[in-house]
């Protein structure tokens, strides 16, 4: 017997399938584990369309502004590639190419008449992906104003609260590089879509790693801005109104430059006049320039840690940190060990915040349709604990504030010892390379940074390599969770999986932290996807 | 029978009295209603000390930096005058002149040796007043670093949650201009102290008017910065951890320039590296300069309202608004009526936020000693409603965010109609001039601005005048609360009471809003206390 929720989900799947024009359908789906290169050999995209979709957003914007490209051609190219992406890795929840192409035609007509893009900023006619509410969010309004064209909403996990992308509507989204690996989550459909270049910049939200984990698993750059920098008003969300730890919105892309393009374009719209939570802080070019000037005199001063004291990362991640540290050191930067401060405390505190309502909100939404919970939900949201009351919540707020203050104290303490400013901290963003399905257990590397509300930029570093990333012989578990995570490591299964680090700056340091991330990517040679 | 809490309060009163040196005691306390001029005729301060205590902070800082004044002389002058203030209006909860004088001597010794104040910024050795925790707050640490000297903690009402200053420890603090009027609250001891020039700049906190109401009632300038601009870390507070509406800290003084001196001095210390809630935003001189440049070309564009639709202000306040509007118009500025947007909704919402825990926290603290509640507490905090649960709180957060967003929409809408930027809004800060005791009923003029987290600066305007501020003949009550407030008006009783307005800017617009307030004060001729 088919129950109601299953019928509704099947109907939705059919509607997504129907939104793909027949001429964009793949006749023989590949059976390879990796589908990353399939678009190139599909025969469905012309060489010109392949060139467009392999470009950076910054380049596309320039060519559109000069009239070398037409908005409609760019839009069709990305819509086609996005259609392939959905058929290959199952990543779309909405696909609406016709509306996008119609909008692109209007923009081209404007250009024909005025010989300029005409809009206030030159974000251009590039493709944008995101999860949006039925009523238009402030971000979408501002991006449209900047000339952005929307053609899809990508998949997210049920509840948004886990770092793999699986729901009961379209099932699981897989990693374009290997269908046995997760694309990450919660903005995992977006990570997979940008990873396979069905979009050039993606938009995600992050309350515990949901921008950064998909970026890491798809070899992308991604930024979790601090709360108050980017507009969240009018967006749909899980656990709406929960404000002890704020979800934030930010971009994922193939280069740090494209992340900057997104941030500067949105900030140019004076978004604080639209969203009351946004700080009136335009792009501070001087902060970025200060980093660039350090590159030419004295170098950067950075901290790093490989293990947070709770869960030891897998060998590929440890090697990724080492690679970044040695690359920086060889290039004259000064890199110092950072002692993670009470990350076990921070990890527990934020988990309690996620569960502050005893999961009432999440369970209400799951139960409303009768669908079952996806795996891992129960790990994260523990309804048995019940709700905390108002005075307990206020106590949690004080604990959070004290923890944040103590972390700043440590930062200043280290600066005192070094006699100079500590520019950022390099750390793992996950304990594993792009993970096998249903294995994501530990959120602490990402979520403690959310609790601190620090700015964090993910930089792709390398790929797991079975010939060097061997299991540690002398490994001693730090605890049960650590043992479970470490037991998952299998050099063969993870061979080739993307490895990333995060670059962590103090609160609201987007310009500075992004500039440092850009330099690290440049030194690693990872400025475009291999 | 004397109960325990009464003994403890009496002991505290004795200790405050003992902290005043015998030679600073007033032999014959005046019986006049107004004691504002008593320090001048007391014979206890020399002419030099009177000159010092009548100065602005900005002037004192300059003279200290040039060696024309000694820190110890400035400190003694203010300590003396503060001692008189306490005896006259009952405003201190702590007084520690010896420690202050010792600190001043150290600063003078440094100056002798180096011929400069020596500290990073030149806040100087001026006197600061405030309510501080037993552990030193970030603000106090930063002010000390800037050379500030502390010599008293002033009185606040039980719970901090009302706008008159009365507690069971030292009783009631009265207004130096007339003992029948309130000094305002919650930072009312501070308002009275600065009003009588026992201090040159005072520090208050504001979650519903607690900086602005004492400023208004004592004919002072006062600023409620938006949340995140000034450091609150490490301060004691009522209802700690309540973060739906944040209490903020800010200065009160006799001029807008002195408010700026406070803000720039604190911001110079990079406080965001100490307090995680502070936005990394130095003083933005360009924002202030933009206002000044408008003064020379085109003028300011301002909105104003006299009544928020809930409670009609008394005649002196209505006249105060008219005076500001006509003065601005006569000086070439463009002033437009602003329609208050759903202030009744905002006022109710913030009252529900104050009471979100069913007053558990406040009642726990009252009951801990067995002391009774002060009047008005029950009006504001309604324990009968009980606590709201976590999902109800999240719903309140959404309502607040929506309300803030809608208010920004209105602001942009008006800008669209005017075809230019709306620089600020002029409004009443209270419904009454400095109020008679136990009559403060309506917090909405102040508290809705807290809910919006807008920047607000109080500007002293004029004084109630029985010859012109007659009762409105055609008055029709807007409701029960309005009728109660209006019935309190008595032209005779309020004659001479300070009248103020607030200048309201969008969130985090301290530079701009302060510059506008300064200009209004200049046009009114109220740059120093008459």
Q: Across the interface, which of A228, A276, A395 has its CB nearest the CB of B401?
A: A276
Task: Look at residue B193 in the predicted model and tell me its pLDDT.
Answer: 92
Local confidence band at A10 (pLDDT 50, 70, 90 cut-offs): confident
Identify the H or E element spanning B206: strand B201-206
Rounded Cα distance between B406 and B422, Å, is: 16
Write down the mean pLDDT value for chain B. 90
**A19 in contact with chain B, both atoms CB, cutoff 8 A:** no
> Taking a C-beta distance cutoff of 8 angstroms, is the pair A502, A427 a contact?
yes
More confident residue, A365 or B384: A365
Cross-chain residue pair A233–B509, CB shorter than 8 Å: no
Per residue in A143-195, pLDDT (tens digit) is 877 777 888 888 888 877 888 998 888 889 999 999 999 999 889 999 999 99
CB interface of B with A, residues 277-316, below 8 Å: 277, 279-281
Region B262-277: what's the mean pLDDT?
Answer: 92
- CA A395 to chain B, closest CA, distance in angstroms equals 6
Q: Before A210, cis peptide (omega within 30)? A: no
Q: Across the interface, which of A276, A393, A507 has its CB nearest the CB of B405?
A: A276
Cross-chain residue pair B412–A360, CB shorter than 8 Å: no
CB interface of B with A, residues 223-252, below 8 Å: 228, 233-234, 239-244
Q: Across the interface, which of B357, B398, B405 has its CB nearest the CB of A240?
A: B398
Backbone torsions φ then ψ of B212, nearest 5 degrees: -75, -35
- Residue whose token pair is 């004084």: B463
Q: Which residues of B touch A231 (CB under 8 A)?
A: none
Q: Best-predicted range by mean pLDDT among A339-343, B90-94, B142-146?
A: A339-343
- CA A299 to chain B, closest CA, distance in angstroms equals 22
Q: How high is the ipTM of this complex?
A: 0.90
Per the DSSP assignment, residues forming a β-bridge with B462 are: B499
Region B62-90: what's the mean pLDDT?
Answer: 93
Backbone torsions φ then ψ of B436, nearest 5 degrees: -70, 155
Q: Across the interface, which of A276, A387, A391 has its CB nearest the CB of B404?
A: A276
Identify the H or E element spanning A16: helix A4-18
- CA B301 to chain A, closest CA, distance in angstroms equals 17
Task: Look at residue A3 in the predicted model and tell me its pLDDT.
Answer: 64
Task: Look at residue B377 in the predicted model and tell me its pLDDT.
Answer: 74
Q: Which residues of A touch B226 (CB under 8 A)?
A: none
Per residue in B416-439, pLDDT (tens digit) is 999 999 999 999 999 999 999 999
Q: Does residue A479 have a known ligand-binding role?
A: no
DSSP, residue by residue, A446-511 = HHHHHHHT-EEEEEEEEE--TTT-PPPTT---SSHHHHHHHHT--HHHHTT-EEEEEEEESTT-HH
Task: Look at residue A148 in the predicted model and tell me its pLDDT.
Answer: 78
CA triplet A74, A77, A79: central angle to 5 degrees?
Answer: 105
Task: Look at residue A118 in the predicted model and tell me its pLDDT.
Answer: 56
Q: Does residue A160 have a known ligand-binding role?
A: yes
Cross-chain residue pair B240–A281, CB shorter than 8 Å: no
- CA A362 to chain B, closest CA, distance in angstroms equals 11
Per residue in B340-373, pLDDT (tens digit) is 999 999 999 998 888 888 888 888 877 877 778 8
Region A510-518: what's the mean pLDDT?
Answer: 98
Task: Look at residue A113 in the predicted model and tell me its pLDDT.
Answer: 87
What percent of chain A shows pLDDT beyond 90? Answer: 68
Q: Across the interface, which of A243, A279, A398 has its CB nearest the CB of B240?
A: A398
Q: Best-predicted range by mean pLDDT among A33-42, A57-66, A355-364?
A: A33-42
- CA B243 to chain A, closest CA, distance in angstroms equals 8
Rounded Cα distance between B206 and B457, Å, is: 12
Of A60-64, A312-316, B33-37, B344-348, the one with minimum mean pLDDT is: A60-64
Task: Look at residue B23 in the predicted model and tell me its pLDDT.
Answer: 95
Cross-chain residue pair A276–B408, CB shorter than 8 Å: yes
- Work out whether strand A221-224 and strand A248-253 pair parallel, antiparallel, or are unpaired: antiparallel
Number of inter-chain CB pairs under 8 A, A vs B: 131
Q: Does residue B187 have a known ligand-binding role?
A: no
Task: Look at residue B146 in the predicted model and tell me its pLDDT.
Answer: 74
Q: Which residues of A touch B411 (CB under 8 A)?
A: 273
DSSP code of residue B255: S
Local confidence band at B122 (pLDDT 50, 70, 90 cut-offs): very low
- Residue whose token pair is 């770092």: A163
Rounded Cα distance between A502 and B480, Å, is: 59
Of A251-260, B63-72, B440-449, the one with minimum mean pLDDT is: B63-72
Mutation target to probe the A interface, by most A beta carbons within 10 A, among B235, B276, B383 is B276
Task: Look at residue A4 in the predicted model and tell me its pLDDT.
Answer: 80
Task: Look at residue A123 in the predicted model and tell me its pLDDT.
Answer: 27
Judged against a pLDDT cut of 90, whether residue B239 lies above it is answered with no
- CA A404 to chain B, closest CA, distance in angstroms equals 6
Per the DSSP assignment, residues forming a β-bridge with B426 are: B304, B503
Nearest CA in chain B to A392: B241
Task: Look at residue A326 in the predicted model and tell me its pLDDT.
Answer: 98
Q: In the structure encoding, which two tokens stand for residue A372, read together?
A: 């079952």
Write down the mean pLDDT value for chain A. 90
Judged against a pLDDT cut of 60, whether residue B119 lies above it is answered with no
Q: Does residue A101 have a known ligand-binding role?
A: no
Q: In the structure encoding, which two tokens stand for residue B162, read together?
A: 């009302």
Region A280-300: what's the mean pLDDT?
Answer: 96
Listed by start position, the domains of chain A span 5-524
Q: What does each C-alpha distance from B299 to A273, A383, B514, B518, B520 come to in angstroms?
A: 22, 59, 16, 14, 12
Task: Look at residue B451 in the predicted model and tell me its pLDDT.
Answer: 98
Task: Look at residue A368 in the predicted model and tell me its pLDDT.
Answer: 77
Give B213's contacts (C-beta < 8 A, 6+ positions apart). Answer: B163, B184, B185, B188, B191, B429, B430, B446
- Work out whether strand A201-206 and strand A248-253 pair parallel, antiparallel, or are unpaired: antiparallel
CB interface of B with A, residues 261-280, below 8 Å: 272-277, 279-280
Mutation target to probe the B interface, by most B beta carbons within 10 A, among A276, A405, A410, A414 is A276
> Taking a C-beta distance cutoff of 8 angstroms, is the pair B118, B221 a contact?
no
- Work out whether strand B334-337 and strand B455-463 pair parallel, antiparallel, or are unpaired: unpaired
Domain A5-524: CATH superfamily, name plus number: Amidase signature (AS) domain (3.90.1300.10)
**Can you give the pTM of this predicted structure?**
0.92
CB interface of A with B, residues 409-468, below 8 Å: 411-412, 452-453
Of A269-283, A362-376, B504-518, the one with minimum mean pLDDT is: A362-376
Q: In the structure encoding, which two tokens stand for residue B122, read together?
A: 């030149």
Judged against a pLDDT cut of 60, whether residue B128 lies above it is answered with no
- CA B3 to chain A, closest CA, distance in angstroms equals 29
Local confidence band at B379 (pLDDT 50, 70, 90 cut-offs): low
Q: Across the interface, which of A241, A280, A358 has its CB nearest the CB of B508?
A: A280
CB interface of A with B, residues 383-412, below 8 Å: 387-391, 393-398, 401, 404-405, 407-408, 411-412
Q: Which residues of A touch B407 (CB under 8 A)?
A: 276
Judged against a pLDDT cut of 70, whether residue A81 lies above it is answered with yes
Identify the H or E element spanning B287: helix B285-296
Cross-chain residue pair A241–B272, CB shorter than 8 Å: no
CA triplet A470, A473, A479: central angle to 5 degrees?
Answer: 105
Give B162's contacts (C-beta < 8 A, 6+ positions apart). Answer: B185, B186, B374, B376, B377, B380, B440
Q: Which residues of A touch B353 (CB under 8 A)?
A: none
Local confidence band at A43 (pLDDT 50, 70, 90 cut-offs): very high
Of A76-80, B123-127, B298-302, B432-436, the one with minimum mean pLDDT is: B123-127
Q: Across the interface, which of A240, A391, A412 has its CB nearest the CB of B273?
A: A412
> Taking a C-beta distance cutoff of 8 angstroms, is the pair B129, B154 a contact?
yes
Q: Does residue B208 have a known ligand-binding role?
A: yes
Q: Please give the distance of CA B135 from its chain centroid, rounded to a whole number.
A: 23
Region B78-92: what's the mean pLDDT?
Answer: 93
Task: Look at residue B126 in the predicted model and tell me its pLDDT.
Answer: 30
Q: Across the interface, which of A272, A394, A509 has its CB nearest the CB of B240?
A: A394
Rounded Cα distance between B254 and B215, Å, is: 9
Task: Look at residue B132 in the predicted model and tell me its pLDDT.
Answer: 39
Judged against a pLDDT cut of 60, whether residue A306 lies above it is answered with yes
Of A104-118, A342-356, B90-104, B194-208, the one with minimum mean pLDDT is: A104-118
Beta-strand runs (E) in B352-486: 424-428, 455-463
> Taking a C-beta distance cutoff of 8 angstroms, is the pair A485, A311 a contact?
yes
CB interface of A with B, residues 147-186, below 8 Å: none
> Taking a C-beta distance cutoff of 8 angstroms, is the pair A393, A356 a contact?
yes
Q: Across the interface, which of B239, B394, B407 has its CB nearest the CB of A242?
A: B394
């Amino acid at each position: 017997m088919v129950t109601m929720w299953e019928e509704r989900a099947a109907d939705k799947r059919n509607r997504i399938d129907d939104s793909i024009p027949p001429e964009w359908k793949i006749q023989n789906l590949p059976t390879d584990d990796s589908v990353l290169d399939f678009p190139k050999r599909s025969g469905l995209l012309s060489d010109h369309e392949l060139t467009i979709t392999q470009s950076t957003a910054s380049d596309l914007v320039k060519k559109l502004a000069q009239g070398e490209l037409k908005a409609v051609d760019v839009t069709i190219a990305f819509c086609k590639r996005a259609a392939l992406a959905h058929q290959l890795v199952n990543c779309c929840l909405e696909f609406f190419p016709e509306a996008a192409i119609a909008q692109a035609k209007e923009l081209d007509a404007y250009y024909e008449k005025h010989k300029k893009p005409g809009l206030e900023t030159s974000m251009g006619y590039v493709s944008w992906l995101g999860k949006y509410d039925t009523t238009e969010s402030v971000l979408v309004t501002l991006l449209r104003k900047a000339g952005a064209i929307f053609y899809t909403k990508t998949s997210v996990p049920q509840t948004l609260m886990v770092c793999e992308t699986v729901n009961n509507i379209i099932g699981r989204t897989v990693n374009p590089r290997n269908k046995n690996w997760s694309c990450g989550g919660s903005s995992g459909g977006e990570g997979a879509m940008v990873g396979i270049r069905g979009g050039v910049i993606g938009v995600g939200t992050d309350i515990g790693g949901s921008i950064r984990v998909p970026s890491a698993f798809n070899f992308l750059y991604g930024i979790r801005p601090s709360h108050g920098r980017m507009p969240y008003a009018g967006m749909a969300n899980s656990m709406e109104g929960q404000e002890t730890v704020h979800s934030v919105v930010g971009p994922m892309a193939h280069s740090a430059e494209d992340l900057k393009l997104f941030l500067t374009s949105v900030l140019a719209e004076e978004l604080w006049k639209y969203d009351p939570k946004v700080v009136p802080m335009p792009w501070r070019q001087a902060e970025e320039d200060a980093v660039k000037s350090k590159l030419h005199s004295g170098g950067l001063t950075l901290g790093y840690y490989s293990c947070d004291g709770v869960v030891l990362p897998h060998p590929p991640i440890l090697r990724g940190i080492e690679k970044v540290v040695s690359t920086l050191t060889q290039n004259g930067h000064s890199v110092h060990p950072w002692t993670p401060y009470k990350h076990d405390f921070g990890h527990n505190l934020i988990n309690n915040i996620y569960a502050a309502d005893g999961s009432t909100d999440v369970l209400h939404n799951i139960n409303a349709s009768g669908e079952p919970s996806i795996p891992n939900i129960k790990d994260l949201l523990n309804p048995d604990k019940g709700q905390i009351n108002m005075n307990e919540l206020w106590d949690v707020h004080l604990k959070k504030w004290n923890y944040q203050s103590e972390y700043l104290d440590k930062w200043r303490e280290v600066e005192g010892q070094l006699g100079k400013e500590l520019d950022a901290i390099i750390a793992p963003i996950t304990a594993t390379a792009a993970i096998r399905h249903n294995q994501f257990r530990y959120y602490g590397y990402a979520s403690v940074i959310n609790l601190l509300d620090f700015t964090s930029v993910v930089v792709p570093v390398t790929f797991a390599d079975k010939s060097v990333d061997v299991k540690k012989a002398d490994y001693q578990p730090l605890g049960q969770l650590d043992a479970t995570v470490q037991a998952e490591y299998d050099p063969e299964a993870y061979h080739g999986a993307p490895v990333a680090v995060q670059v962590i700056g103090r609160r609201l340091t987007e310009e500075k932290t992004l500039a440092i991330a850009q330099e690290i990517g440049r030194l690693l040679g990872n400025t475009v996807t291999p």
